[in-house]
């Protein structure tokens, strides 16, 4: 496999033995209790199939004892965020941490969570994907994770509340010469991927894509069929999710995925027959340079995507390695879903997450000639490259723009997988077929050696690999 999961690459954890045990306890308990032929990433109560368990998990409730004011704290060692370039560094939400508490072997939530004075549970929800309660703990802005939690239940994990950033796109306005011009001719990616031929076999109908990003403009004439789902499921507790305004990044990706085909205006998405559900896990940052995506919301979005029946989950965001995020995307793969993530736009071979996790299809960007985008990341985070330069797509409120970036490449990949699933391929077979149909990219990597990942080839090649060949011309 092209990549491996190693926290020492990008998410090295420093601190005491107790810190490491607290972070890894849930995973260790799982490994100890799982069947020999089933690695098990859900918890020590993993007795049924993943699908059955995710459908049957119920929130048993949070039992909390506040740590007495003035009592001596016994904090966990500080969890350092991995180094990152200053311009694109994922932030931690100031004064917050996340606690994951899996149910015990009796199916109950263990007691023993103690908060220090001044800390509180701001919100919590039960995750059927993680099979654990996720609590967002808040305190003074300067507090570190270990400053907020005095004691954890056995098997629980404490992590910083990481804040991921959208793998942003450089955007240039697109102004048609005449109102009502069809813009299909500007979509070179559909030609490179042989979309028109592939649509004669599958246009994605029957497949569902979950777009976890900023909120797309569903009032756009090309996107009025996109379904917006609230992050708060009926059983969620805590403060309601903020209302998200229509945003550029999410709107660009929605157009690549599923802009309406043949409606006489604008463009066509690569999977125009697929169902797209959008979950606003990101919001505009203070500077406006990139959307910010708190881990708590990303995890809620993953659960809602599963509950909505998503076949493909698109995460065009980047940041540090995190044990909760790693476990969530790994379990989605075990549940028979495909997760796609952008590799990032830093011209770096340093792993970025979630793209670099083995369970995720990490995507870099190439231009119309098949050459790698100069800003695309490379290395372990990239399983394949896809069109991501000069991509014409939708922008709020009802316009169009050209964009560059691995976010757009990831969206093309998610749409391609939806075509394969819509053609009847199992999720794992769809991923295998897409990766097997890669062709060499037109340049070399930073070391001068050919980049082994390759770029997405003809969708007809991938369809043929799942037994659904395109008709002859």
**For 142-156, what is each residue's pLDDT tens digit?**
999 999 999 999 889
Question: Which pLDDT score is estimated for 271?
Answer: 97
Question: Which pLDDT score is estimated for 54?
Answer: 58
Q: Which of 168-172, 327-331, 413-417 has the lowest mean pLDDT?
A: 168-172
Question: Which pLDDT score is estimated for 53?
Answer: 54
Taking alpha carbons only, the member of 170, 384, 394 closest to residue 260 is 394
Contact assessment for residue 41 and residue 331, using Cβ atoms and an 8 Å cutoff: yes
Q: Between residues 274 and 443, which one has the greater pLDDT?
A: 274
Average pLDDT over residues 96-125: 88
Per-residue confidence at 286, pLDDT binned at 50, 70, 90?
low
Taking alpha carbons only, the member of 272, 251, 269 closest to residue 397 is 251
- What residues does CATH 3.40.50.200 cover in the chain? 166-465
Question: Which pLDDT score is estimated for 5?
Answer: 29
The CATH number of the structural domain formed by 166-465 is: 3.40.50.200
DSSP codes, 406-470: HHHHHHHHHHHHHHHHHTT--HHHHHHHHHHT-B--SSB-TTSSB-TT-B---HHHHHHHTT-PP
Contact assessment for residue 133 and residue 336, using Cβ atoms and an 8 Å cutoff: no
**For 75-96, what is each residue's pLDDT tens digit?**
222 223 333 333 444 588 999 9
Q: Which residues are annotated as catalytic?
A: 213, 249, 407
**For 238-270, what is each residue's pLDDT tens digit?**
333 344 578 899 999 999 999 999 888 889 999
The token pair that represents 460 in the structure block: 């007809």
Question: Which pLDDT score is estimated for 233?
Answer: 53
Question: Which pLDDT score is estimated for 447?
Answer: 40
């Amino acid at each position: 496999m092209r990549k491996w999961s190693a926290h020492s690459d990008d998410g090295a954890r420093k601190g005491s033995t107790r810190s490491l045990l607290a972070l890894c306890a849930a995973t260790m308990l799982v490994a100890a209790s799982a069947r020999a032929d089933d690695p098990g990433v859900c918890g020590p109560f993993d007795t049924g199939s993943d699908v059955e368990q995710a459908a049957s998990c119920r929130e048993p409730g949070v039992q909390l004892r506040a740590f007495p004011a003035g009592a001596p704290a016994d904090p966990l060692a500080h969890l350092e965020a991995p180094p990152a370039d200053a311009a694109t560094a994922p932030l931690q939400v100031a004064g917050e941490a996340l606690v994951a508490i899996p149910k015990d072997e009796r199916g109950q939530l263990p007691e023993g969570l103690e908060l220090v004075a001044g800390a509180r549970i701001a919100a919590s929800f039960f995750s059927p994907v993680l099979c654990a309660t996720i609590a967002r703990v808040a305190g003074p802005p300067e507090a570190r994770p270990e400053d907020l939690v005095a004691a954890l239940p056995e098997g629980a994990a404490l992590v910083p509340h990481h804040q991921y950033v959208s793998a942003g796109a450089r955007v240039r306005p697109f102004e048609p010469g005449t109102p009502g011009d069809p813009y299909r001719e500007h979509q070179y990616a559909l030609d490179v991927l042989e979309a028109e031929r592939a649509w004669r076999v599958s246009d994605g109908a029957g497949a569902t894509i979950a777009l976890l990003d900023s909120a797309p403009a569903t009032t756009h004439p090309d996107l009025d069929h996109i379904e917006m789902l609230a992050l708060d499921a009926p059983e969620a507790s805590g403060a309601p999710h903020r209302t998200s305004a229509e945003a550029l990044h999410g709107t660009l990706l929605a157009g690549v995925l599923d802009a309406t085909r043949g409606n006489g205006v604008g463009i066509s998405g690569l999977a125009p027959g697929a169902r797209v559900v959008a979950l606003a896990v990101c919001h505009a940052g203070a500077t406006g340079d990139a959307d910010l995506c708190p881990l708590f919301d990303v995890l809620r979005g993953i659960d809602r995507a599963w509950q909505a029946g998503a076949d493909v989950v698109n995460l065009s965001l980047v940041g540090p390695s995190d044990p909760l995020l790693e476990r969530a995307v790994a379990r989605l793969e075990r549940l028979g879903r495909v997760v796609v993530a952008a590799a990032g736009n830093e011209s770096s071979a340093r792993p970025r997450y979630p793209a670099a996790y083995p369970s995720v299809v990490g995507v870099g960007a190439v231009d119309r000639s098949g050459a790698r985008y100069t800003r695309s990341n490379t290395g372990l985070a990239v399983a394949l490259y896809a069109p991501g330069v000069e991509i014409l797509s939708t922008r709020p409120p009802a316009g169009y723009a050209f964009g560059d970036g691995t976010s757009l490449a990831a969206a093309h990949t998610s749409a391609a997988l939806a075509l394969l699933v819509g053609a009847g391929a199992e999720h794992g077979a769809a991923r295998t077929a897409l990766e097997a149909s890669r062709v060499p990219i037109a340049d070399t990597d930073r070391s001068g050696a050919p980049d082994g990942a390759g770029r997405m080839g003809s969708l007809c090649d991938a369809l043929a690999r799942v037994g659904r060949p395109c008709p002859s011309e």
